[in-house]
Amino acid sequence: MSTAYKASQLRWDPFDPDFRANPYPYLKTIREQDPVHRSMHGEWILTRYEDVFRAFADQNLGPLTRTDEFDVTYEYLKGKGKVMEGMKLAGKMFLPFIDKPRHPKLREWLHQAWNDRSVDESVKKRIDHMMDQWDFDQVDLMTEFAGMLPILTLLGVMGLPAEDWVQLKKISFKLYPIIEYRRTMRSFEMLNEGMEEVVEYLLPWIEEKRKSPQPDLLSNLIKLNDQSEEKLTDQEIAGFCAFLFFAGQETTVHLIGNSLQLMMTHPEQTEWLRNHRKATALAIEECLRYDSSVPLLGRIAKEDTEYGGKIIKKGHGIVLCVAAAHRDANRYEHPDQLDFSRTSKGNLGFGRGERICSGAWLARKQAKWAISKLMDRSQRFELTADPIRQDTFNPRGYAHLPARIVPA
């Protein structure tokens, strides 16, 4: 596809199906012609690696939403007779919507509670179990694999029953539209619905785990909360756990799915990896760089700030376009090539700074074991039809990856 657009034709339109299918030529043009770009929607789009890198730690930039956005929406809807407590709770408990001083306190609570990282054996067992159910001639690597593993892992980490995965996955689909590129009233309504359902599901579990704590994350969160001076209510604990299901699931689903798709469409890279299995973790980082499951993050300027010689005014929205930064030739050699032998120059797929991903280790482990096990159990694996994209830009990934596995 030609990338020679004139500056006046720069296209930043994550709703456009062409853009969604392959945003990279568009992002390249923006990065080269107008790297700090004011989109037709009014936000500023940062596309250079150096700018996105700096923005993650820029104290002049605040969270994804204006702090009062959820409260204002809540009051507005209440005035119209619609009370959306679930939505309000998400505004209070979802970390990306919260600023200092509450944000670091909630993160600290999570980090103290999450002291057990010994998930390898359970993840490996889950993967084997899934593979045992496959018809190797005809398997959908999204619905029968990548789409299931992260929710099952999270349920295990939280100490909740694996058989509830379908219910929780359905709920979390209702939460996702809130981080799509544009929020609509429908996305607030879906968030509200999802939050009410997740709170209803979790409240009895919180009671149960308070009475008889187990070695799991939910029990630890409750224990620490109950010992602290600034106690959260059980609704708030449930709201925070809903955020973990939200943050830790589809992101990981699509890290695994995108990596599998890239392996199947770049067989020479997969062959190289089969001969260099120790490079699996780095190959996953390369997939995360090449086609990240979280291609963009949002911020609001808390003060006037400058990028690329342009002043971004207080209150303006800013998009940290990780997908564009990851293809910046000033950072990566041959950025449009997938290269599993690339000496890592790191990537911004899990963010950086005060909001860096707390679950990156868990996502990396799952991706590593998913890919390692698939390579162990196959001579090769290949697409049997075109993959079908999921209709969201953020997270970015596939709904279906129809494949055939040639057993080892």
Q: Which residues bind ligand HEM (CB under 6 A)?
A: 95-96, 107, 154, 244, 247-248, 251-252, 255, 293-294, 297, 349-351, 355, 357-359, 362-363
Question: Which residue number is nearest to ligand HEM in terms of Cβ?
Answer: 359
CB of 58 to ligand HEM, least distance (A): 11
Nearer to ligand HEM, 29 or 259 (CB): 259
Distance between CA atoms of 349 and 295, rounded to whole angstroms? 8
Nearer to ligand HEM, 77 or 284 (CB): 284
CB of 266 to ligand HEM, least distance (A): 19
CB of 230 to ligand HEM, least distance (A): 18
Distance between CA atoms of 302 and 317, rounded to whole angstroms? 10
Distance between CA atoms of 139 and 142, rounded to whole angstroms? 9
Nearer to ligand HEM, 283 or 363 (CB): 363
Distance between CA atoms of 313 and 304, rounded to whole angstroms? 4
Nearer to ligand HEM, 77 or 92 (CB): 92
CB of 33 to ligand HEM, least distance (A): 26
CB of 299 to ligand HEM, least distance (A): 7
CB of 304 to ligand HEM, least distance (A): 21
Distance between CA atoms of 407 and 390, rounded to whole angstroms? 28
Nearer to ligand HEM, 293 or 378 (CB): 293
Nearer to ligand HEM, 179 or 199 (CB): 179
